[in-house]
Structure 1
């Protein structure tokens, strides 16, 4: 499923009601600067500047769902303390229903304090009593489950191993969800997944999955058997395994499986990424999506959140913008099949098509000016790019500096470029004939050399335009300044 289809899904996505049961945590961030070491011990001194309190644990799952405009209720336990009051207030402030939360006067509200210097976390302090909740508190929580599950479209068990999700609580929630015929998703903890027996799916990361099945997942080939083993252990309908930088693997109830590559453009902090995944999976399943579609939306959302500091969430608008950006970028990177489709569409709209080509190995200002002038000759600019093998034949073994995928990606990011396609030949003649542009553009240094494809273009009513060159800019000079031997650069032109 591509970004265009995901955008349509997102635009039509309902706003289901999701119930979350799990460990409630307050995340506190202390930001400052480390400039010296303590004279008392070999430890850094943090000169604190500010503090920020955020929702953590199951509360962060709830925050992610609210950001995606779901209706959310949460069940959990807080202490009879100031931290607990603040945590409940933060949740209510963004529209999370907290009436089902139980107060335990003997148990402090869980607080995690992270000390941050610049972009680095230098220390975390946890205030908690991570033992199973006592029987009276468990009974109070159990009494609230059936009524709330009955009004939900999806249920999440967010297990941080802090004692709220006892076996009795897990089984009560799952049984109620089964009776109500709503999916129940589990973010698991520990190695005993029998506690989650009967759930719809679990979402362990690779390490957690290895712990649960008792063996390493050395390669992608190990994932199908691991997913089936998880489904067998806990009598699940499906399994989802998050793989960090390798994306997400899923196996559904009908045997459908896939590994969805990561969508992260930069990774700043993976804190809470699992919360974003399970929140968006529950959103999708609660809205009636198939698992594979929900996984793809969740994967895109997680790709955004890992670019932010600490536990964070993604709004519908942000997810839509990210999908739109990728759609714009990817739709420019053409294959033989999509080139034909794009050309037919542009011609049906009466657009004047411009074509140019080159290696575009190390992009510089001369390239940008050249491409901008090329684009000014028509309505649509298609750029043909020599693939890596043809660049080596033309330029020598040291080239290209940048591989074809990177060169195409960078070109596709330029606003004046409408389409980019690779070609394997030493000349672009076949591609010129395929495109048959209204205008064929080359640099003015080709005036006496014979522009490849000129005859074809002119025979079909088009023309050739020789673009001006920006003096003093060349790939050769860049590579020489970078320390590469001059001969390695070959003959440099602004479109090479």
Structure 2
């Protein structure tokens, strides 16, 4: 199926006002019957419902609930509204489709005034539900009638999705890009525009170590494993890998951080210098450079040994870093907070006040096993927490993801929130304009998941650059998601290059175009 074939059915998708003009006022020569629902995954029960409804009228109108009003399930709807509308429009029996932007179909019933309104049999079992009664009342105001379709075949979209979620990430991407009038050429141009942007990264340095071992056995008297050391690999991590991602993308990067006076500091400085990152560390001889050493046996991470000191940095160091923030010329300032002492209650307001006027401001505060809060960075242009960090910030372990993200977006006062959901992808919230959706979801684009650690850093880097270069949150989300997916394919932290990103864009385009 070609892309153009899919979108040819868009002619059936109308607004309520357009449809009222098309079908005319009552009484009509052709009877209009209307169905309403979520239709997240169209299954045989839905099809039977639609076929029966069509048999009772001449014109079948299907109204579907907009994404913003669906709260059932943690990440629902699984299929976004534009794609759900196209799915229904592709059926020959369906004449028109409406995306209902209201929480209930009452407004559209009053506008279109269908002759019949079809409900599933489950809505008539026992007493009439109060919501159904409101629909009946709206119909009876002008002489419409409700019809209940047969109910001997019942399926659940939720159960089908939970059983085996369909792989439709490319279809979701295609529909989103089409709705936002974004092409794959726009994605490529955005990658090119990143080159030369001046970025100042401020954050905690972490050396991520992987100590590879092989299993020897266990002790006979105690539950102690015995392993043989084979090799150790050290990677510049934390905010340092964010700086490397940015440099790999073509940005001019200055990195301000705090490190100890030790071998790990020397390793990071040599690594960043060789990579072309201008690192300006403040050396604190009273604390070690943060090191996180994973003991890996047969591909499994058996244990992690952390060497760190999470004490807040001194006032002297706060002054030094704030001077760097104020004096370094930058288009973008990124606060990469891993809560190892650099960012704290006293330092954060000072650092924020030091950001030069006109800079694009980005914050990422990772909680992990420590205390941190993304709401400490109010009014930023972009924040990129994950779901756990959002729940931590709001003290909310119960809300489903979309209401959770919506509340965090409101409380943070940011321009754009990219909420990372791990293997489930990400959801972006943004300030809305005319006919602009307030949020959209992208599935994960990881082609292989060797090591998902560090994917968020890749997303942070590329999304920040894309936002600064284009001002387009959809382009930034897509490129950030692609970069995160690529990072999942590496064992350990590895900077993602534009060549890799462009190749990933090409693979996505080929998949969408079936080429």
Matched, 1:158 2:339: no
Matched, 1:186 2:364: yes
Q: 1:62 aligns with which of 228, 243, 249?
A: 243
Max Rg structure:
1
Which residue in the other structure is 1:446 paired with?
none
> For 2:405 and 2:208, how far apart are their aligned partners in 1?
32
> For 2:270 and 2:221, how far apart are their aligned partners in 1?
39
Q: 2:253 aligns with which of 36, 60, 72?
A: 72
Which residue in the other structure is 1:325 paired with?
507
Moved more, 52-61 or 207-216: 207-216
Q: How many equivalent pairs are there? A: 327
> For 1:327 and 1:64, how far apart are their aligned partners in 2?
23
Provide Cα deviations, 1:287-324, integer angstroms capped at 9, x if missing partner: 23312210110001111111221223211111111221
Q: Helix, strand or coil: the match of 2:510?
A: helix
Moved more, 206-215 or 253-262: 253-262
Q: 2:319 aligns with which of 125, 135, 139?
A: 139
| Contact 2:195-2:250 within 8 A present in 1 as well | no
Q: CA RMSD in A?
A: 2.1
> For 1:141 and 1:262, how far apart are their aligned partners in 2?
36
Provide Cα deviations, 1:88-118, integer angstroms capped at 9, x if missing partner: 121111111112x101111111111111123
1:86 Cα offset (Å): 1.8
CA 1:179–1:82: 2 relative to 1, 3 Å: same
Q: Helix, strand or coil: the match of 1:183?
A: strand
> For 2:314 and 2:270, how far apart are their aligned partners in 1?
25
1:12 Cα offset (Å): 4.7
> For 2:257 and 2:221, how far apart are their aligned partners in 1?
41
Q: 1:240 aligns with which of 382, 394, 418?
A: 418
Which residue in the other structure is 2:397 paired with?
216
Q: Normalised by the size of structure 2, how large is the TM-score?
A: 0.60
1:163 Cα offset (Å): 0.8
CA 1:158–1:25: 2 relative to 1, 3 Å: same
Q: Normalised by the size of structure 1, how large is the TM-score?
A: 0.62
> For 2:509 and 2:449, how far apart are their aligned partners in 1?
21
1:211 Cα offset (Å): 1.3
Q: Helix, strand or coil: the match of 1:115?
A: strand
Q: 1:7 aligns with which of 181, 188, 205?
A: 188
Which residue in the other structure is 1:37 paired with?
218
Q: 1:199 aligns with which of 373, 380, 391?
A: 380
Which residue in the other structure is 1:97 paired with?
278
CA 1:35–1:146: 2 relative to 1, 3 Å: same
Provide Cα deviations, 1:203-251, integer angstroms capped at 9, x if missing partner: 11111111111223654xx41x323322333332221110111111111
Matched, 1:107 2:287: yes
1:38 Cα offset (Å): 3.8
> For 1:135 and 1:177, how far apart are their aligned partners in 2?
18
> For 1:179 and 1:329, how far apart are their aligned partners in 2?
42
Matched, 1:125 2:305: yes
| Contact 1:242-1:248 within 8 A present in 2 as well | yes
Unaligned runs of 5+ in 1: 333-417, 419-496
Unaligned runs of 5+ in 2: 1-176, 178-182
Which residue in the other structure is 1:290 paired with?
472
Q: Helix, strand or coil: the match of 2:513?
A: helix
Which residue in the other structure is 1:305 paired with?
487
> For 1:66 and 1:301, how far apart are their aligned partners in 2?
14
